[in-house]
């Protein structure tokens, strides 16, 4: 779908009506609602966000097979990349997973205790895995990229190390949906199950795009910076 | 003496039919019992002749039914279906067949493909079954207890390769991929006890 992609002259409110999932991106860029008829460029400038990167994210989140080619990637101002990814991590961990956990534990408390405990243990294990995954990125990868962007390459680290250990945090979510749909025996709690399943599907979609940005945008971009700094 | 397999050929080109019959003649295992120019009488013939194999040009099947080979053959005795392809046929259509013969295939290749399709026949039946087999249960229980592939292979006296293939089937059937997810599955289905989980 290259036929139609978002551009800086479009009204931000129009972008959101094309794809309402983009409302999630607004706070991650520190933009506030109530932006009236302003176009994308005007708003990005007001909030000191890179317009080209903002559009890149909106396009990736809206058009399934949209990925920038190398030329477009190099033409993008990436100063908002790391703040955006960090804000996304914070949102996943402190909002979405928190919400899923509270409902899941409600369901678990209503099950026979040996099933309930299993479910809780599974989710806590998963959450820890996500925390570790994000922490590694925040403490090792992002500072490395920050330094690189300022022209200070590291001798001991390079992005290939990240590429080789970048783990998948979506499998368990998918497993959880199957467990809730097919296998968890306790009756009732239908309302909670629907809520939580809905929530997981949204989060999975979001995480998919997030990994796409890390793997197809962040990694190639950093590889380019590394070459540039040698 | 080995069994002889009855074959029905469904193809409208006399050239292809004659060629195919020629390729199969002189081979004791295969016996072409009927040739049909269209699918019109196929259903009746399947019931009256009970063939082991049909070799059919997928394009002769009405396009609305082309994707539903299985349901077309639902009320007839089970039969191995081979596609005879002489023009472009969509991959999704071909996927339904047990084997595919193309115009380039020679005598030996055709025989090999028929043999393979006859052998695969039973495996295909099992693929529709979403119950775990006994062996898959054994592997699942070991995985849930935190065992590595190598340990499972040693314990069950099978190769690592076989363990991996069982694990793939388990994930396909249950929809669960992660080890922790499989542990939950095993516990929920009372296949293991809580105390056995590391």
| Domain chopping of chain A, boundaries | 12-74, 80-229
Q: Is residue A111 predicted with pLDDT exceeding 50?
A: yes
Tell me which chain A residue has its CA closest to the CA of residue B190: A115
Residue B15 near residue B63, CB atoms below 8 Å: no
Instruction: Copy the structure tokens of residue A108.
Output: 């678990």
Q: How far apart are CA B139 and CA B152, in angstroms?
A: 7
Quick: pLDDT tens for B140-174: 999 999 999 999 999 999 999 999 999 999 998 99
What range does the domain containing B170 cover? 134-196
Same domain for B115 and B139: no
Tell me which chain A residue has its CA closest to the CA of residue B194: A114
Tell the residue number behind the tokens 């101002």, with chain if given: A77
Chain B: closest CA distance from residue A61 (Å): 26
Tell me how many residue pairs between chain A and chain B have CB atoms under 8 A apart. 51
Quick: pLDDT tens for A124-153: 999 999 999 999 999 999 999 999 988 888
pTM over 0.80: no
How many separate domains does chain B show?
2
Q: Is residue B2 predicted with pLDDT exceeding 60?
A: no
Same domain for B140 and B123: no
Closest CA to B46 of B68, B69, B75: B75
Hey, is the C-beta of A172 within 8 angstroms of any chain B C-beta? yes
Q: Is residue A174 predicted with pLDDT exceeding 70?
A: yes
Same domain for B69 and B151: no
What is the average per-residue pLDDT within B11-38?
A: 89
Contacts of A126 in chain B (CB under 8 A): 180
% of residues, chain B, pLDDT over 70: 93
Contacts of B177 in chain A (CB under 8 A): 171, 174-175
Same domain for B167 and B79: no
| CATH for B176 | 1.10.10.10
% of residues, chain A, pLDDT over 70: 97
Residue of A120, A121, A183 for testing the chain B interface, max B β-carbons within 10 Å? A183
Same domain for B180 and B100: no
Same domain for B184 and B144: yes
Same domain for B172 and B93: no
Least confident range from A45-54, A73-82, B107-116, B125-134: namely B125-134
Tell me which chain B residue has its CA closest to the CA of residue A129: B180
Same domain for B140 and B74: no
Same domain for B115 and B29: yes
Question: Radius of gyration over alpha carbons of chain B, in Å?
Answer: 22
Same domain for B159 and B142: yes
Interface contact flag, B181 A178, Cβ < 8 Å: yes
Contacts of B185 in chain A (CB under 8 A): 179, 183
ipTM confidence score: 0.81
pLDDT of residue B68: 79
Same domain for B189 and B121: no
Q: How far apart are CA A185 and CA A200, in angstroms?
A: 19
Burial of A101 (0-12, 13-18, 19+ CB in 10 A): middle
Q: Which of B175, B180, B189 sits opposite A122 (nearest CB)?
A: B180
- CB count, 10 Å around CB of A151? 9
Q: How far apart are CA B11 and CA B9, in angstroms?
A: 6
Domain boundary among B109, B127, B145: B127
Closest CA to A28 of A86, A75, A74: A86
Domain boundary among B127, B142, B172: B127
% of residues, chain B, pLDDT over 90: 43
DSSP-based three-state secondary structure for A141: helix
Hey, is the C-beta of A184 within 8 angstroms of any chain B C-beta? yes
């Amino acid at each position: 779908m290259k036929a139609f992609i978002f551009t800086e002259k479009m009204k931000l409110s129009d972008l959101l009506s094309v794809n309402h999932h983009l409302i999630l991106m607004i706070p991650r860029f520190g933009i506030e609602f109530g932006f009236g008829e302003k176009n994308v460029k005007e708003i990005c400038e007001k909030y000191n966000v890179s317009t080209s990167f903002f559009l890149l994210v909106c396009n990736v989140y809206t058009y399934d097979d949209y990925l920038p080619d190398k030329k477009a990637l190099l033409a993008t101002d990436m100063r908002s990349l790391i703040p955006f990814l960090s804000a996304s991590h914070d949102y996943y961990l402190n909002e979405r997973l928190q919400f899923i956990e509270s409902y899941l534990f409600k369901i678990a408390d209503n099950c026979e205790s040996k099933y309930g405990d299993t479910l809780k243990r599974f989710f806590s294990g998963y959450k820890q895995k996500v925390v570790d995954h994000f922490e590694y990125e925040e403490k090792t990868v992002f500072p490395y990229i920050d330094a690189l962007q300022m022209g200070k390459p590291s001798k001991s680290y390079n992005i290939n190390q990240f590429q080789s250990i970048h783990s998948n945090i979506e499998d368990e979510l998918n497993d959880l949906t199957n467990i809730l749909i097919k296998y968890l025996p306790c009756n009732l709690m239908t309302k909670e199950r629907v809520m939580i399943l809905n929530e997981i599907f949204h989060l999975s979609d979001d995480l998919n795009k997030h990994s796409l940005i890390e793997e197809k945008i962040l990694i190639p971009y950093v590889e380019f910076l590394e070459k540039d700094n040698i | 003496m080995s069994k002889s397999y009855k074959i029905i050929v469904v193809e409208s080109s006399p050239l292809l039919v004659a060629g195919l019959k020629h390729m199969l003649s002189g081979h004791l295992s295969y016996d072409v019992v009927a040739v049909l120019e269209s699918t019109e009488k196929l259903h009746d013939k399947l019931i009256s002749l009970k063939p082991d194999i049909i070799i059919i040009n997928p394009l002769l099947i009405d396009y609305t039914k082309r994707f539903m080979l299985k349901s077309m053959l639902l009320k007839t005795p089970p039969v191995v279906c081979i596609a005879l392809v002489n023009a472009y046929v969509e991959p999704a259509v071909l996927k339904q067949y047990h084997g595919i013969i193309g115009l380039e295939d020679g005598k030996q290749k055709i025989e090999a493909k028929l043999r393979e399709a006859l052998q695969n026949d039973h495996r295909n039946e099992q693929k529709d079954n979403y119950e775990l087999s006994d062996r898959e249960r054994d592997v699942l229980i070991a995985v849930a207890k935190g065992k590595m592939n190598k340990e499972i292979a040693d314990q069950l006296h099978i190769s690592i390769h076989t363990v991996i293939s069982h694990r793939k089937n388990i994930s396909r059937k249950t929809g669960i991929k992660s080890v922790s997810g499989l542990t939950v599955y095993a516990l929920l289905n009372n296949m293991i006890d809580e105390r056995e989980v590391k």
